Amino acid sequence: MSTDPAYVQRLLAQTREEGQWYCGQPDAAALCFEVLALFPDNREAAELVYELFCDEWLIYDNRNALQQHIDEWDDRPWQQRRRLALSFRFMSRWDGWHREYEKGYEREREGPPDVADLLDKGKGQLLHAYCLGDEECAGFAWPLFAEAFRRTHDPRHALLWVGKQYAELGFFADAVEVLAELCSRFNDASGSARCLLAEVRWWRDNAHRLPWLPPPGDGSRYRRMMAFIDPDAPTDEEVIRSLRAEAGQIGQRDWRPTIDPALADLVAAALPPSTQETTPAPTLVDWSFLDTEDGQPGELPEWAKKMMRLFPRQADDIARRHCWSRPIQPPATPPRRDPNEPPFDPQEFFDLDDEADEADDDFADLTDENP
């Protein structure tokens, strides 16, 4: 028999009820994060989130959504973090993401104005790591944020703002540290910050299990594919080196990574060898097709075909850009839809198609007038 309080048992029962229906898993998982905000060690709630995320249609939808940004054969480590960050943003139902756009919550969206410059510089460094894979930039960001915490007259909003940036960009361990500091120092009467902390902590501890993510790699699969697609394309290292030189970044910064490389090597040498099993765990998706890629253009995914129908004037460009994106097979069984929800009406999408065609025509007319 469960020893959880009655209201926790009711929340978990509600989670199971809502999570059985198509597209209901994100909202259901939010209930689990409410439980974990109050009881961080509640294993039932944590495992229930994972069970929800193993829904076959949720896996299918997330794979398609991610593939529109990153091909599944791109195994560069920083692209895997981008997949995690995008997945988090797809799935999170934390109320603060919408609240920050309401009147009176400008500081949650923008951070304290007295350290806006430091916060902006720190976020810029994180974006370099997120968008370009320049990992050193993530180290450059923290001293800027720490200085902002020291200088500001509003450390609560500064900590919340920084914690959100780390979470949105997939730096979950850093987000946990910042949000834990926030919750320990300031009264969180609404429980909102604790909910975000619980959610980010779950992603930190379970990101490696997300069933819609392709296996992590070292970039070798990406390099093999690019050898077919564009042998002359610059490597990540060449891009980073060029951008650093262009920005005058080397030798002109007055901050440094928080851990000296020599100290990092000393700590790494002192750690015991890993005892983690090297045999990969079974997955819900058969990813073996990634190792048989031949680098040849193929059939477009369904989402790309829909984009071509929505934007016919850009159809050729869409086909050219996504001809190496492979189709993803939908589940064999139809999705389970909540009988209490209004029935699906495809006409809504036809209306959107008409609006998109009109907007596409308007855009084309503008470009014709202003070549």
Q: What is the pLDDT of residues 300-353, one digit of tens each?
A: 999 999 999 999 999 999 999 999 999 999 999 999 999 888 876 656 655 555
Q: Give the mean pLDDT of 216-228.
A: 94
Reduced to 3 states, what is the DSSP secondary structure of residue 202? helix
Query: Residue 250's pLDDT band (boundaries 50, 70, 90)?
Result: very low
User: What is the pLDDT, as a whole number, of residue 355?
Assistant: 55
Q: Any idea which of 234-248, 261-275, 298-312 has the lowest mean pLDDT?
A: 261-275
Q: Which of 159-163, 210-214, 241-245 has the lowest mean pLDDT?
A: 241-245
Compare 250 and 116 and report the one with higher pLDDT. 116
Q: Which of 251, 214, 185 lies closest to 62, judged by CA?
A: 214
* Single pTM value for the model: 0.86
CA-CA distance, 298 to 286, in Å (whole number)? 19
Both structure tokens of 39 = 């009881």
By percentage, how much of the chain surpasses pLDDT 90?
Answer: 72
CB-CB contact of 126 with 165 (8 Å): yes
Q: What tokens appear for 237 in the block?
A: 């290292």
List Cα–Cα distances, 95 to 14, 34, 176, 196, 355, in angstroms: 19, 11, 18, 9, 30
Nearest-angstrom CA–CA distance, 131 and 326 = 23
* Of 153, 150, 173, residue with least CA distance to 163: 173
The 8-class DSSP code of residue 327 comes to: P
Nearest Cα residue to 169 out of 75, 86, 100, 111: 86
φ and ψ of 110, to 5 deg = -110, -15
